[in-house]
Amino acid sequence: MPPENLRPAMERLKSQRRLIVNADDFGRSHSINEAVVRAHREGILTTASLMVNGEGFQEAVALARENPKLGVGLHLTLLCGTSTLSHKQIPGLVDLHGNFSNDPVRTGMRYFFARSLRAQLETEIKAQLDRFHSTGLTLDHVNSHLHLHLHPVVFKILMGLTEQCRIQRMRLTRDDLRLNVRLASGNWTYRLSHALIFGLLGGRARAALLQRKIAHTNVVFGLLQNARVDERFVSGLLKRLPLGDSELYSHPSLDHFRNEFDALISPGNKNLIRQLGIKLIRYQDL
């Protein structure tokens, strides 16, 4: 139970609507970097998740330093990307050029059943966390590309690194299917399967996060949209946003996902946030 003097403040927070608006893939390309910074300066974006091995990594770090109110976390990458360590150091995880597999299902199965890979996974995960900390930026949160941080093996490794690598906040990827059905249509196979998979993984992970006092939001929106976080979806979500702390994540860029960038700088959505009294926060504000 919280101390008596903290209970009134905690009850007030529960009665508020607070929202983290996050951009994944920060550092992946110049187009994404530019979209992230503009969405933060001109729109509703509050945080971004940094790919420390992306081609735009150094530019992203420089932009983050120029925008200190932007919360920046680690977007751990263990598939569909490149590694921090060399093939010689983690031969079971990457090809000769340091590239992870692009097959999420096969990769997830290998990471689960091949016990010989676990030491390599831990070494690479720690290397990515170390590279983030080497930037001098505050670690606002940890999540991962395609939410692999909730994979049972990867999640266990991260829990073992919480103190050493100063992990205090993490995305607990659990979308609200019932609300999503009211806001969007189509793509049912993807939406239903991901709601089920991450409902199970998120439920399993929540107890460990609570035990270690790792802060997280009650719900994470964006998972079931799959690059369709457009202006209409965001406005509908804002009008139905539940009480407490939530995260909305997207993938803004100025080329591939322009619709998601436009949603974040929409004057209508900015006005809605003001009218509805929604408080925009970062993970470090939880």
Distance CA 51, CA 24 (A): 8
Condensed to tens digits (0 to 9), the pLDDT of residues 68-80 reads 999 999 999 999 9
pLDDT at 9 over 70: no
CA gap 234, 225 in Å, rounded: 11
**Can you give the pLDDT at residue 14?**
58
Q: Which stretches does DSSP call E strand in 45-92? A: 47-50, 71-76
Which tokens belong to 109?
């199965």
pLDDT for position 10:
52
Give the pLDDT mean for 238-266: 96
What values do phi and psi take at 266, rounded to 5? -60, 120
pLDDT of 87:
97
pLDDT in tens, 154-196: 999 999 999 999 999 999 999 999 999 999 999 999 999 999 9
pLDDT of residue 192: 96
Query: At 251, is the pLDDT very low, low, confident or very high (cuts 50, 70, 90)?
Result: very high
Mean pLDDT of the chain: 95
Are 129 and 156 in contact by the 8 Å Cβ rule? The answer is no
Model pLDDT for residues 254-274, shown as the tens digit of each residue: 998 899 999 999 999 999 999
Q: Look at residue 231 and tell me whether its pLDDT is greater than 80.
A: yes
Contacting residues for 280 by C-beta, under 8 A, at least 6 apart: 18, 19, 20, 21, 44, 46, 273
Q: For the chain, which residues make up each domain, given as ranges?
A: 16-285
- The pLDDT assigned to 226 comes to 87
**pLDDT tens-digit profile of 194-214?**
999 999 999 999 999 999 999
Question: What are the structure tokens assigned to 273, written together?
Answer: 């946030």
Q: Looking at domain 16-285, which CATH architecture does it have?
A: Alpha-Beta Barrel (3.20)
Q: At what angle do helices 258-265 and 231-240 cross, to 10 degrees?
A: 40
Q: What gap in Å lies between CA 36 and CA 189, rounded to an integer? A: 30
